[in-house]
C-alpha cells in the first residue's frame, strides 16, 4: 500500500499558491464533514502557506488553532498570512505533541508520508475523546498528469537520474484499507472520493500546477538545463492527454480521497 518517502526539492509557497482557490476547495469540503463541536485545540498538519489553517480559524473561532509544516518557506508564508496563529516547522513523521487535540486536520499531505498503517493509529492517539481526524489526499497516480511524469522519467536521457523519483510519493490505500485501519480505533469512519474538474488556461497551466506538487521529486534530481528539457517533454504529453476545449481551456480531472474518523 505504501512506498518509501525520499529526498525532494523544497516546497515553494509562491508556486503552490498560484492555484490557491482550486487547492483550497477540497479543504473546505473536508472541513464541512467534521462532526466535532466546539473544539478547544485544533491543528493543521502540513499547513502549507496557511490557506487551510485560515479556514480552520474561521470555522472554530473559539479554538486554539495551530499549524505545522516541514517546509520553512511554507511556515514563513503562513506566519505572514496569519500572524495571530502559532506555526511550527517540524517533521510530521516524528511529531508527538504533549497534549491531545480535539481536531487534527490534514489537507493533501499524508500521501507524502510512508506507512499509513502505523502513522494513522499514532495520530488517532493524539486525539482527545470526542475528537476527529480529517484528511484528504490526491488519488491521481493513474491519471495522465502523473503517468506522463513517469513516462518522461523513463526516457533514456533521464532514466539514470530519475529512476527512483516516483518512490518519493506514498501510494495511498483503498477506502477498504483506511476503514480497516481506523474503525477499531474510533466510533465513526466516513470515507468518500471526489473527482474535481479544474478549468485551467491550457496545458501549460497543468504543468505549472504540478510544478508546485507532483513534479517536485523529478525536478529536484535535475540540473537547470535538464529540468527545462524534462518539462518540455512533459508538456508535449500533457497537450496530447488534455486537448483544449473550444474556448482554449483544458479540463484537469483531479481525484481525491477523503477520510474523517472520530473517537
pLDDT tens, position by position, 134-193: 999 999 999 999 999 999 999 999 999 998 888 777 789 999 999 999 999 987 999 999
Q: Which of 24-28, 174-178, 253-257 has the lowest mean pLDDT?
A: 24-28
pTM: 0.89
Task: Inform me whether the pLDDT recorded for 20 exceeds 90.
Answer: no
pLDDT band of 11, cuts 50, 70, 90: very low
Quote the mean pLDDT of the chain.
91
80-108, pLDDT tens digit by residue? 999 999 999 999 988 999 999 999 999 99
Pairing of β 41-45 and β 64-69 = parallel
Amino acid at each position: 500500500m505504501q512506498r518509501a518517502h525520499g529526498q525532494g526539492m523544497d516546497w515553494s509557497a509562491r508556486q503552490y499558491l498560484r492555484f490557491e482557490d482550486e487547492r483550497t476547495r477540497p479543504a473546505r469540503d473536508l472541513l464541512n464533514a467534521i462532526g466535532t463541536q466546539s473544539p478547544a485545540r485544533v491543528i493543521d498538519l502540513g499547513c502549507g502557506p496557511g490557506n487551510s489553517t485560515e479556514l480552520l480559524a474561521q470555522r472554530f473561532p473559539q479554538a486554539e488553532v495551530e499549524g505545522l509544516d516541514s517546509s520553512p518557506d511554507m511556515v514563513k508564508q503562513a506566519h505572514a498570512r496569519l500572524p495571530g496563529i502559532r506555526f511550527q516547522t517540524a517533521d510530521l513523521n516524528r511529531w508527538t505533541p504533549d497534549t491531545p487535540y480535539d481536531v487534527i486536520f490534514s489537507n493533501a499531505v499524508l500521501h507524502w508520508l510512508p506507512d499509513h498503517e502505523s502513522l494513522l493509529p499514532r495520530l488517532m492517539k493524539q486525539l482527545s475523546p470526542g475528537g476527529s481526524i480529517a484528511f484528504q489526499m490526491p488519488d491521481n497516480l493513474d491519471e495522465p498528469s502523473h503517468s506522463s511524469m513517469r513516462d518522461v522519467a523513463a526516457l533514456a536521457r533521464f532514466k539514470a537520474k530519475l529512476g527512483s523519483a516516483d518512490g518519493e510519493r506514498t501510494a495511498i490505500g483503498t477506502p477498504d484499507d483506511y476503514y480497516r485501519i481506523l474503525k477499531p480505533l474510533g466510533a465513526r469512519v466516513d470515507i468518500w472520493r471526489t473527482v474535481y474538474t479544474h478549468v485551467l488556461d491550457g496545458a501549460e497551466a497543468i504543468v505549472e500546477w504540478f510544478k508546485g506538487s507532483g513534479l517536485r521529486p523529478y525536478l529536484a534530481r535535475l540540473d537547470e538545463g535538464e529540468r527545462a528539457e524534462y518539462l518540455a517533454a512533459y508538456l508535449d504529453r500533457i497537450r496530447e492527454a488534455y486537448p483544449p476545449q473550444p474556448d482554449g481551456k483544458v479540463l484537469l480531472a483531479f481525484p481525491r480521497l477523503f477520510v474523517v474518523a472520530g473517537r
